[in-house]
Structure 1
Amino acid sequence: MIRFLHGADFHLDSAFGALPAQRAAERRRESRELLFRLADYVNGHDIDLVLLAGDLFDSASPFRETGEQLAAALGQMRARVFVAPGNHDWYGPGSPWETETWPENVTVFRERAMTAAEVPELDLVVHGAAFTGPDQPESLLAGFTAPADGKVHIGLLHGELDGAEDRYDPIRREEVSASGLAYLALGHVHKRMEPLTLGRTVCAWPGCLEGRGFDELGEKGFYEGTISDSGEVSLAFVPFARHRYEILEVDVTGKDPRTAVEAALPPDTAGDLYRILLTGETAEGGAGAAALREALADRFDTLEVRDRTRMAEDLWQRAGEDSLRGLFLRELLARREAAEDEAARAEIDLAARFGLAALDHRDLG
């Protein structure tokens, strides 16, 4: 039986542009440290084979020390390691795949065509290919069929299955079915996908190893699997990231906002980056997003609180008053009733809140 680890899309040296500069630099350092945690996992779980399906770097020209640390971490793994460069870290002149000295246990696929690497001690062959530029408009699996020689055959590629556009190795389902591979390890899709079986081939995307923004939510990690002597594949997802990005929507209608948020939060959020969206109806002062963020910030790695509440309908009833407040509300109410969509109404609600706060000499923050 072969034990393997399948990871992809580390995107080392990502900018983390949404974070403050100091925190972004810390996250980049943490990403490099994660590599050595991964090496410890490989060695502690008797992994035979490590399959890394591209975009390990965020660009084809990362910082030199990042390449050095990746090489050092992979060299610590007591396993054979295979890498298929992707569209971000494509193989070419000056790329770290060419300039870095990779350990003996590491094989980097460098051709824009499927090539074979034998692993005799496991009676196994790994077939892989590389992006050699930022685009790969033709499927790298097209026309490929593994030989029927009694060995276990695995594929390693960065690409999409039936992609919407032909830019990132658009693999077709029928190509996977005809490949003769026991397992096809894929990268490029940052959201973990449940394994697919096409023909006799199991294929999967593990998603990115760690989220980098609020478009990469939830648990991140890798697949750990086994391949039996008969070629049967079994997979389990292993959450591995120290930080998660999460978006939490909380309806605070008729509630104290802080109490409502605390009731909705899971118990342990210390390492996570949260965006909390406050919804529902509130009084003139809104939900107090700034104060809420200040009160809860130490429970998170990073916290955003956004007030998406609307003014309670009964507040607009004061538009009938014979006062400056009534005149102000009547003008906005007419615009609100004529608004074309919810976004326009939300802007008018916000204007009403700030206007009423000004009339009452209150500070909305």
Structure 2
Amino acid sequence: MMKRTTFHRALALGLALLLVIFSLAGCARRGAVSLRIVSAYSGKGVANATLTFTGSSGSETLSSDATGTVSGQVEADRTQMGVEATGYQKAFMQVTDLTKLPTTVQLTPLFLGVGTVISGGQPIAGASVTVWNTTTTTGPDGTFTFEGLAEGAYAGRVTKQGFADGTFDLVIGKNAKAVKVTLQEGQLLPLSSLATLPAYELTASYHRTLGGEDKSFDGRVVKNGSDILVMSGDPVNPTASLMVRGGTGYVFDNGAYTASGETAAAAAHVLQESCEGLLGLPATFSPRLFTIEKQPPVQLLGQTCDVWSMSGRFMFEGEAVTATATVTVGATGALANVPVKIVLNARSQEFFNFVYDAVVEVVSVDQVQAAARFPAQ
């Protein structure tokens, strides 16, 4: 009896050991990964870097967050780690033990985009400089630097309280030159950006003639949060329309909106920014060159608004342009200092034929009404 009991115990133990062995064979051991990807140039975290861990059983990836931090788990048999991010040199290292990975991995920028912001020959410190989806601030010497951009040409914008916005083209690549951005005095009117409103609907009509080339727009722009609707013609059945909803661009075609990707979204943003820019344009006119007179107030959007008439001249591509504008500005509440209507007329006095006539007016700031403008999907 004793022998039989011993035999049964030994058999049970053997079966248990076999189960453990088969279990381990079917479930590879995993290890924790925790480190940070930083720039070798600035020490800042590199967002959206991809870490690829490779081993005998294949490969798997992890990504860095907005601060450059990476955390997760991978199989412990990985023998190589590769790190890559847009605008940076790739990095590789051998992995002998996941617990002994470095706490930080440095990536070297492939290229740097540099420039200086000045006004009146003096550097402008603290100016906000935006290129692509990145914003930085100029230092005491007016300089700025961008890293982590792929090779190519980018449109940039400089903003600074008391100055007109400046625009520039930044080339990223081998032998690219530093740019110099000159800001002009501005802020004749203390206008707030229309973009600060959570929702609006505006009508816009403008026509520009430059060197015999005509460009025009007659329609409306509706904003609801990050969604945009740009229409021309009948709002119910537009002759043309672009829509951005949830980050996706749509085009109105054959009576319906069809997804058309980044191109449609970019075009809608350009038209939206053009109309918002027209409303905010008087804030950039130099006080040395424009006169301003306050007119009787008017009622718009259910409140009393201030009205200003302006006349003077500004420089466009090196030539003097005379301009007159009537600007209607909200006086209280959420619309305080927000431009709600502008009538602008501009003419050149020099060699090229430049004509610009525009009327832009905000007709609603009701978020429910703005949301109802977007077609059901």
Q: Is the TM-score greater than 0.5?
A: no
Structure with the largest fraction of helix? 1
Report TM bin, short chain: under 0.3
Task: Tell me the TM-score normalized by structure 1.
Answer: 0.27
Structure with the largest fraction of strand? 2
Task: Tell me the TM-score normalized by structure 2.
Answer: 0.26
| Structure with the greater alpha carbon radius of gyration | 2
